[in-house]
Chains A and B, each alone.
Chain A
């Protein structure tokens, strides 16, 4: 049986440097990620956090930084008690030049069996990365109400 993981691929008309900036700069992330700021100094071993309107939703540690090709961090959702009890998972972004485009591959892995966050991240990432693609290509991020994602407990 396949290990539980979530993989998402999208192609974006941009450069690896611009995509890297969008993934690591909180000014950008606020625009496409429901106001979420990605916070880190992006050095291996440094802390990582997602902060949404002043509330820390996820924390982790930077694992790999190979600008502008590969970025990974551990990811631990801290908003609910059930999620806090799970071990941290791992997020990896691969950025590959593809003609005039960039192929972005997100892999979110190392979930516990029966993980309570796997369903939520599987519904969340396509919306976040679709919005990121729109922002980079058209200049306007998407306005997707979180309640439209169908994640249990998200209003």
Chain B
């Protein structure tokens, strides 16, 4: 997949007292993700072209995608398509990149959400709300062993905007 025409819409950086390998593992394994990501299981086939999925506790597909770039433990790019009827057709694919860099004794993790077309602020409110919660909790798991309990609902303005575009929402 050619990703040259994707432009970053959301960038979030967080520093974690950990190692690049552990951050990589936390981002790509279900065992970790269930702790920090509202019980959701990340499944990643870690090679270019491999399958990527995020499943709910009852194993249904919440997010589906494909591994686009895979350079452990430095960079992972995946398509990140929320499995709601009509979403990819209307919004195009969502591209998510994690960059992991050593920063002294800490690790700098940068999340980039990119799109191949302009996306409204209403719809981007989903990622702007979700990523800080997910990555704050991931940091806590790695540093203290305890995830944060963050009850998170999709923003109303996002659901309303998606509905208006004819995209199926829960």
Contact = CB atoms under 8 A, between A and B. Distances in A.
Interface string A1-42: 000000011111100000000000000000000000000000
A133 interface: yes
Interface stretch (B58-66, B68-76, B141-149): B141-149
Nearest to A126: B13
A98 B108 CA distance: 26
A130 B15 contact: yes
B160 interface: no
A145 B104 contact: yes
Interface stretch (B78-86, B132-140, B161-169): B132-140
Given A144-B104, A148-B104, A101 B148 contact: yes
Given A134-B143, A137-B140, A138-B144, A10 B14 contact: yes
Interface residues of A, number: 26
B150 A11 contact: yes
Contacts of A149: 103
Given A100-B149, A130-B139, A131-B15, A142 B106 contact: yes
Contact of B133 (A11, A13, A126, A131): A11
B16 interface: yes
A125 B149 CA distance: 24
B143 A11 contact: no
Nearest to B143: A138
A120 B49 CA distance: 37
A131 B102 CA distance: 15
Nearest to B151: A99
**B-side binding surface: helix, strand, loop or mixed?**
mixed
A46 interface: no
B108 A148 contact: yes
A140 interface: yes
B4 interface: no
A151 to B, nearest CB: 12
B108 A11 contact: no
A44 interface: no
B148 A13 contact: yes
Contacts of B150: 11, 98-99, 101
A127 interface: yes
Contacts of B148: 11, 13, 101
Given A10-B136, A101-B148, 18 more contacts: A9-B132, A11-B148, A12-B136, A13-B146, A99-B150, A100-B149, A123-B13, A126-B14, A130-B14, A130-B139, A134-B139, A138-B144, A142-B104, A142-B105, A145-B103, A148-B101, A148-B108, A149-B103
